[in-house]
Structure 1
Amino acid sequence: MQGARIISVGSAVPDLCINNKDISKIVETSDEWIVTRTGIKERRVLTGSNKSVVDLAYCAGMKALNKIHMDPLEIDLIILATSSPNDLFGSASQVQAKIGAKKAVAFDLTAACSGFVLAIVTATQFIQNGSYKNILIIGADVLSKWIDWSDRKTCILFGDGAGAAIIQACSEEDNAILGFQLNTDGKQSDELSIIYKEDISPLNTFKLFQGQFQYISMNGKEVYKFAVSKVPASITKCLNSLHLSTRDINWLLLHQANKRILKAVADRLSIDTSKIISNLSKYGNTSAASIPLALDEALQNNKITKDDIIVISGFGAGLTWGTVVIKWKC
Structure 2
Amino acid sequence: MDLKAKITATGGFVPTNRRTNNYLANITDTSNEWIIKRTGIKERRILADELATSDMIVPAIEDLMKNTDMSLQEIDCLIVATCTPDMPMPSTANIVCRKLGLKNVFGFDINSACTGFLYAISLGASLIESRKYRNVIVAGADKMSSVTDLQDRRTNILFGDGAGAVLLQLSDDETGIQDSLLCGNGDGAEMLLIEGGGSLYPASMETLGSRKHFIRQDGRAVFRNAIEKMTAVSKALLDKNALSIDNVDWLIPHQANMRIIEAVGKELGIDAGRVISNVQYYGNTTAATIPLCLWDYKDKFQKGDLLLLTAFGAGFTWGATLLKWGM
- Pick the TM interval, shorter chain: over 0.9
Residue 303 of structure 1: aligned partner: 300
Partner of 1:19: 20
Instruction: Kindly report which structure 2 residues correspond to 1:26-37, keeping only aligned pairs within 5 A, or say none.
Output: 26-37=27-38
Post-superposition CA distance 1:258-286 (Å, at most 9, x none): 11111111111111111111000000000
Shift of 1:12: 0.2
Q: Matches of 1:176 and 1:197 in 2, distance apart?
A: 38
- Determine if contact 1:133/1:169 at 8 Å carries over to the other structure: yes
- The match for 2:163 is 162
Alignment-mate amino acid for residue 145 of structure 1: S
What is the aligned partner in structure 1 of residue 68 from structure 2?
Answer: 68
Distance 1:67 1:92 in 2: 21
Task: For 1:180-329, list aligned pairs within 5 A.
Answer: 180-196=180-196, 214-299=213-298, 302-329=299-326
Task: Report SS of the residue matched to 2:149.
Answer: coil
In 2, the alpha carbon distance for the partners of 1:222 and 1:160 equals 24
Distance 2:255 2:192 in 1: 16
Residue 187 (structure 1) shift: 1.6
Distance of 2:206 and 2:44 partners within structure 1 = 34
| Separation in structure 2 between the aligned mates of residue 157 and residue 140 of structure 1, nearest angstrom | 16
How far does residue 70 in structure 1 lie from its aligned partner after superposition?
2.2
Indicate the SS of the match to 2:30.
Answer: coil
Query: Residues 88-167 of structure 1: matches in 2 within 5 Å?
Result: 88-89=88-89, 90-167=91-168
Contact 1:254 1:277 in 2 (8 A): yes
Change (3 A) 1:326 1:198: closer
Question: For 1:2-17, what aligned pairs fall within 5 Å after superposition?
Answer: 2-17=3-18
- Over 3 Å counting, the alpha-carbon distance change for 1:167 and 1:196 in structure 2 is same
SS in 1 for 2:189: helix
Matching residue's letter, 1:170: S
The 3 A distance-change label for structure 1 pair 197 and 294 is closer
Rounded to whole Å, the distance in 1 between the matches of 2:58 and 2:197 is: 31
Q: Kindly state the Cα deviation for residue 197 of structure 1 after the two structures are TM-superposed.
A: 7.3
SS at match of 2:179: strand
Distance 2:250 2:225 in 1: 22
* TM-score of the two chains, using structure 1 as the length reference: 0.93
Letter in 2 for 1:264: A
Give the stretch that moved more between structures: 210-219 or 5-14: 210-219
Matched residue pairs, number?
319
What displacement does 1:142 show?
Answer: 0.3
CA–CA distance in structure 2, aligned partners of residues 194 and 143 of structure 1: 11
Partners in 2 of 1:48 and 1:112 — Cα distance?
Answer: 21
Q: Within 1, Cα distance between the matches of 2:206 and 2:32?
A: 40
SS in 2 for 1:257: coil
- Judge conservation of contact 2:207–2:213 (CA < 8 Å) in 1: no
Task: For 1:135 and 1:175, locate their aligned partners in 2 and report how far apart those are by CA, in whole Å.
Answer: 17
Letter in 2 for 1:259: M
Alpha-carbon separation, structure 1, partners of 2:197 and 2:74: 42
Cα displacement string for residues 164-218 of structure 1 (whole angstroms, at most 9, x for unaligned residues): 00000234x435110000111202111100013799xx9xxxxxx9966521001
TM-score (norm 2): 0.94
Deviations 1:131-172 (A, max 9, x none): 11110010000010111110000000000000000000234x
- From the superposition, tell whether residues 170 and 303 of structure 1 become closer, same or farther in structure 2 (CA, over 3 Å): closer
Structure 1 gap ranges (5+): 203-208
The SS at the match of 2:187 is helix
Verify the 8 A CA contact 1:116 1:292 in the aligned structure 2.
yes
Contact 1:78 1:135 in 2 (8 A): yes
Instruction: Write the mapping of 1:174-185 to structure 2, written as runs, cut at 5 A.
Output: 174-185=174-185
TM-superposition CA deviations, 1:15-60 (whole Å, max 9, x none): 11011001111101000000000000000011142x1101100010
Unmatched segments (≥5 aa) in structure 2: none
